[in-house]
Amino acid sequence: MRMPVKALPPPVPVLSWTGCYIGGNVGGVWDRTSQTQIAKVTGVAVGPNDFGSSNGSGFTGGAQVGCDYQFASRWVVGVQGMFDFSNFSDQHTLPAFPAFFDVDNLKDVFTVTGRVGYLFTPALLGYVKGGGAWARADYNIFGFGPPLFASESATGINRQGWTVGAGLEWMFVRNWSVFGEFNYMDFGNKDIGFVQAPGTVGVADVVRTRLQVEQFLVGVNYRFNFGGPVAARY
């Protein structure tokens, strides 16, 4: 008699990272602002005079969307757009004019990056990313007084620069992943023309301002439109 032959089990499918995703994130953000007065808005050069620098920190949160492609078993490449909102301020006294101080407010940050990753396991991706960054900030200069008074301001200032970052992402179930990452952004120097506050006497300044931002984010992604699981061996 012939014994029945038991069929071999099918290979265990390995999660595929190919496809697009959408998700949300929260975290902390740190910025550094450095300022130098270089002219008046009328075009008259002054200084340069040290307007000081300060560091700030706060919470941030937002969303991301992107697409990935897995190849050669362990490698993943992709593109991503990420927007994060924050609203915190820091301030510093102007060394050249110690009767005045500046309040800086970082409002939001947007990045478009490419990323390259390596799969340490089928579900754990380590990656680096880099690309363009944009931010929006307010700058306000006040006099100590007394009484305290507004001197000049520049609000809704758009900044653009570059970003690099690195992180880990874990696909804990099919179609869902969590990640943690650190990002550095440098927006370089921008010559910003201030506007004199109503009721004050004088001519507003042009202030050369440098902005640097760091983020630490954690988030979750929902992944869809995959090409299906693959049976690669690790």
Cross-strand bridge partners of residue 62: 25, 84
By CB atoms closer than 10 A (0-12, 13-18, 19+), residue 191 is exposed
Quick one: pLDDT at residue 201?
Answer: 87
Q: Is the pLDDT of residue 233 over 50?
A: no
pLDDT beyond 70 at 10: no
Eight-state DSSP code of residue 204: -
Report d(CA 128, CA 168) in Å as an integer: 9
pTM of the model: 0.88
State yes or no: pLDDT of 136 exceeds 90. Answer: yes
In the structure encoding, which two tokens stand for residue 106, read together? 């970082």
For residue 69, is pLDDT > 80? yes
Dist CA 171 CA 68 (whole Å) = 13
Is the confidence at residue 146, as pLDDT, over 80? yes
Domain boundaries along the sequence of the chain: 19-224
Strand partners, 110: 83, 134
**Mean pLDDT along residues 127-139:** 97
The CATH architecture one would assign to domain 19-224 is Beta Barrel (2.40)
Q: What is the DSSP letter of 10?
A: P
Give the model confidence (pLDDT) of 196-222 as tens digits.
999 888 899 999 999 999 999 999 999
Work out the average pLDDT over 104-110: 95
Please count the residues of the chain: 234
DSSP state of 187: E
What's the pLDDT score for residue 228?
52
The Cα–Cα gap between 211 and 16 comes to 39
**pLDDT tens for each residue of 111-125:** 999 999 999 999 999
What pLDDT does 232 receive? 43
By three-state DSSP, how is residue 173 classified?
strand
Provide the β-strand partners of residue 111: 82, 133
Q: What is the structure's pLDDT at 183?
A: 98
Do residues 208 and 36 touch, judged by C-beta distance below 8 A? yes
Q: How many angstroms separate the CA atoms of 111 and 43, rounded? A: 33
Task: Quick: pLDDT tens for 149-207.
Answer: 999 999 999 999 999 999 999 999 989 999 999 999 999 999 999 999 998 888 999 99
